[in-house]
Amino acid sequence: MRKYVVFFKDEQSKVYAKDSLTTQTMKEMRKLGFRKFHVVVEADNEKEALRKVVEFNSGYLDSLKDLSGSAVICAVILILMAIYYLLTT
């Protein structure tokens, strides 16, 4: 399996094998407005690398959604406790 680096910009993405990626290519991608995905992906080919990035990102966003839902519940409970405290004192 090879390691791949993924660059993305809006709805576009470009995949490069890590061993063939040069600093010049990275600078060029940044100049074009692409950002490097923060994880290097191990895959058999470029399509699989992109699929793994999408799976990773989906899992990350699901975890973030769960965390933010929990934070909202905690905030609501804290506000209700503060209101109760203020009304009873």
Amino acid at 64: L
Domain count, the chain: 1
pLDDT at 86 > cutoff 80:
yes
Q: Which range (17-31, 59-73, 74-88) has the least confidence?
A: 59-73
Higher pLDDT, 64 or 19: 19
Question: What per-residue string of b and e applies to 19-55 under the rule 16 or more CB within 10 Å gives b?
Answer: eebeeeeeeebeeeebeebeeebebeebebbbebbee
Q: Residue 61: which domain range?
A: 2-88
